[in-house]
């Protein structure tokens, strides 16, 4: 399995494409520029690099090129999370969960979802 290693800026672009679907560079740039100071040519160059890295697919059938994510959000999240667990939490998923829960105020609905998930994991491990 190919490792997905997007930079922080590349993740921002991927997030836009995961949410919006296929977009032109202009559409991506307009969304990015609402929250950060980035030039159009910088966005264009970054998306070209991402295409070269096989993070994006490019449709060149029309005058304006349209880009879409070539990697799935789920697979990217899983690989980044696994890397963080290994490097930041010494391989301990429970340390990650405890840190996240200790630093974040969860709603009753979120806590119930977590309880259900834990119960399901326990049930699977007893099989």
Dihedral angle computed from the Cα positions of residues 56, 57, 59 and 60, in that order, rounded to the nearest 10 degrees: 80
- Alpha carbons within 13 A on the beta-carbon side of 27: 14
Contacts 24+ apart (CB under 8 A), 82-87: none
The residue ranges of every structural domain in the chain are 8-69, 73-125
pLDDT at 13: 96
Q: Under 8 Å CB-to-CB from 59, ≥6 apart: which residues?
A: 22, 65, 66, 67, 68
CATH number of 8-69: 1.10.10.10
| 3-class state of residue 108 by DSSP | helix
Reported as a single tens digit per residue, the pLDDT across 57-89 is 999 998 899 999 999 999 999 988 998 999 999
pLDDT at 27: 97
Reported as a single tens digit per residue, the pLDDT across 22-38 is 999 999 999 999 988 88
Q: For residues 108 and 86, what is the distance between their CA atoms, to the nearest angstrom?
A: 30
pTM of the model: 0.76
């Amino acid at each position: 399995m190919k490792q997905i290693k997007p930079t922080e800026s590349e993740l921002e672009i991927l997030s836009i494409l995961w949410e919006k679907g296929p977009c032109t560079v202009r559409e991506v740039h307009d969304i990015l520029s609402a929250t950060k100071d980035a030039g159009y040519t910088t966005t264009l160059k970054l998306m070209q690099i991402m295409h070269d890295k096989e993070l994006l697919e490019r449709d060149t059938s029309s005058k304006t090129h349209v880009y879409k994510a070539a990697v799935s959000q789920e697979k990217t999240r899983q690989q980044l999370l696994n890397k963080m667990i290994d490097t930041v939490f010494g391989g301990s998923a429970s340390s990650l969960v405890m840190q996240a829960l200790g630093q974040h105020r969860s709603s009753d609905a979120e806590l119930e979802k977590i309880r259900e998930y834990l119960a399901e994991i326990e049930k699977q491990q007893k099989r």
